[in-house]
Amino acid sequence: MAEYLGPTPIATVTRLSIYLRTLEEAQSENIEYISSMKIGQRNGFTSAQVRKDLSCFGNFGQKGKGYYIPSLIKQLRSILGLSQKWNIAIMGLGHLGQAFVGYKGFQKSGFNIVAIFDTDENKIGTKYNGIPVHHPDDLKRIAKNKDIQIAVITVPSSVAKASIQRVIDAKIKGILNFTDVRISLDNEFVMKNVNLVGELETIAFYITRPDWQCRGI
Amino acid sequence: MAEYLGPTPIATVTRLSIYLRTLEEAQSENIEYISSMKIGQRNGFTSAQVRKDLSCFGNFGQKGKGYYIPSLIKQLRSILGLSQKWNIAIMGLGHLGQAFVGYKGFQKSGFNIVAIFDTDENKIGTKYNGIPVHHPDDLKRIAKNKDIQIAVITVPSSVAKASIQRVIDAKIKGILNFTDVRISLDNEFVMKNVNLVGELETIAFYITRPDWQCRGI
């Protein structure tokens, strides 16, 4: 689930999203055209990798000129499914949920947090950053009313399974899971797990073994 | 930087970390031996993928019996560099920093948060969850005193570049970056970027195009 969600490998999709960031950055610097090499350099990929990834989805570049940035941004946004708006629910208004709600970068990319769910009676009925806080029992109804397509799970691990089950029952197709609970879901759901311990372990690995090479198959 | 940090692809290292979680989980269920197929099933990988990844680092399995869990956990922890303790600094005590400090899963894996850095005069000199809060000007001295090897960047984007520069100046080799600022670093540093917008974009992609297949090279 975490590594391979469909016929396009998740590593490719992740890179498309990185390229989009790079193009937006270049555009804010008033650059009009960019080469696959420049896109690669800004992110530590080879130009061949960039060309290969983009060629999966069409023929965007102009020989000798590179990619026309405004048009490639539009294409990448369309490929990633960002031509539409996405309505998001936050499950759990602890520190992580509050960090997520407060993060400025989502709206620009078309992700709107429209509802927060928490079991704390002191929070229910109030607003946080202008977004209403509801009891999780109301998820199904509100998900339908507000057309919520993605839920972000930031509840404590102890209640994560129940929280994910509620999201599934509400037929919310996309789940971003910050807890360490792992669940296998039907193919109609898309779950991405963010593994905080794993991020640190990856760093520990590369500090410990900077030059390790696979000696297996 | 984000995708490829050395001769072992980051996707492999990420999977090793997922396997370790799975083994710890199986151990807590009193299972002694586990097959590559079972490890794969719990995470949506093929058994061939699991065998290939593990074979990179040695020959751990026993034919017909699978992997002896206590020993494979030990091996994986050693491979990932978790035989030692890792001292961690949190840069920025906003909501995300607080969520990170409060997260229970780190200590078990050998990651100890030993210092927090924030510019808020009301926080400096106090403790949060028992961990002292310092001014970032003191990072170099404290990093040396406390042998800090990894810094987690949870400051606002506007000051992220300066914060990362302080970490580099303090010769802290590992950086986990939660901001949307991207920096290229020398090879001696290991930086991992967590891209929250990218996580949502990946989910949006798979909801929009569940069956997309690359038609390029």
Structural domain includes residue A176: yes
Same domain, B91 and B177: yes
Q: Burial-class residue A71 by CB neighbours within 10 Å (0-12, 13-18, 19+).
A: exposed
pLDDT digits (tens, 9 = 90+) for B205-217: 989 887 766 644 3
What range does the domain containing B18 cover? 10-79
pLDDT digits (tens, 9 = 90+) for B102-139: 988 888 889 999 999 999 999 999 999 999 999 999 99
Whether A117 and A143 have beta carbons less than 8 Å apart is answered as no
CA B179, chain centre distance (Å): 15
> How, if at all, do strands B111-117 and B86-91 pair?
parallel
Mean predicted confidence (pLDDT) in B45-58:
84
pLDDT, greater one: B45 or B93: B93
Structural domain includes residue B4: no
Structural domain includes residue A1: no
Structural domain includes residue A54: yes
Number of Cβ within 10 Å of residue A65's Cβ equals 11
Whether B12 and A28 have beta carbons less than 8 Å apart is answered as no
Same domain, B96 and B184: yes
- Helices B69-79 and B10-28 pack at an angle, to 10 degrees, of 150
Structural domain includes residue A27: yes
Token pair recorded at residue A4: 């391979």
AA identity, residue B161: K
* ipTM value for the complex: 0.86
Residue A24, phi then psi, degrees to nearest 5:
-65, -40
pLDDT at B59 over 80: no
Is the CB of residue A42 less than 8 Å away from at least one CB of chain B? Answer: yes
Nearest to B111 by CA among B152, B73, B140, B139: B152
Same domain, A126 and A184: yes
pLDDT at B4 over 60: no
How far apart are the C-alpha atoms of A173 and A86, rounded to whole Å?
A: 11
Please answer yes or no on whether A204 and B80 come within 8 Å at the CB atom.
Answer: yes
Same domain, A129 and A180: yes
Same domain, A28 and A120: no
Same domain, A95 and A63: no
pLDDT at A7: 56
Report the residue from A3, A176, A202 with minimal CB separation from B192: A202
What is the full per-residue pLDDT of chain A (217 aa) written as tens digits? 344 444 567 778 888 998 998 999 899 999 999 999 999 888 778 888 888 888 877 777 777 888 999 999 999 999 999 989 999 999 999 999 999 999 888 888 899 999 999 999 999 999 999 999 999 999 999 999 999 999 999 999 899 999 999 999 999 999 999 998 888 788 889 998 888 888 999 899 989 887 766 544 3
Same domain, B93 and B162: yes
Same domain, B105 and B191: yes
Same domain, B72 and B175: no
CATH code at position B137? 3.40.50.720
Is the CB of residue A5 less than 8 Å away from at least one CB of chain B? Answer: yes
pLDDT at A14: 84
Q: How confident is the prediction for chain B on average, in pLDDT?
A: 88
List of chain B residues whose C-beta atoms are within 8 Å of the C-beta of residue A80: 201, 204-205, 208
Residue ending a domain, choose from B39, B58, B79 = B79
Same domain, A61 and A105: no
Share of chain B above pLDDT 70, in %: 94
SS (H, E, C) chain B: CCCCCCCCCHHHHHHHHHHHHHHHHHHHCCCCEECHHHHHHCCCCCHHHHHHHHHCCCCCCECCCEEEHHHHHHHHHHHCCCCCCEEEEEECCCHHHHHHHHCCHHHHCCEEEEEEECCCCCCCCCEECCEEEECHHHHHHHHHHCCCCEEEECCCHHHHHHHHHHHHHCCCCEEEECCCCCCCCCCCCEEEECCHHHHHHHHHHHHHCCCCCCCCC
pLDDT at A213: 63
Q: How far apart are the first and last CA of chain A?
A: 24
Number of domains observed in the structure of chain A? 2
Same domain, A31 and A113: no
pLDDT at A4: 41
Distances (CA, A) of B22 to A92, B53, B69, B73: 25, 15, 10, 10
Same domain, B99 and B174: yes
List of chain B residues whose C-beta atoms are within 8 Å of the C-beta of residue A18: 2-3, 195, 198
CATH code at position B32? 1.10.10.10
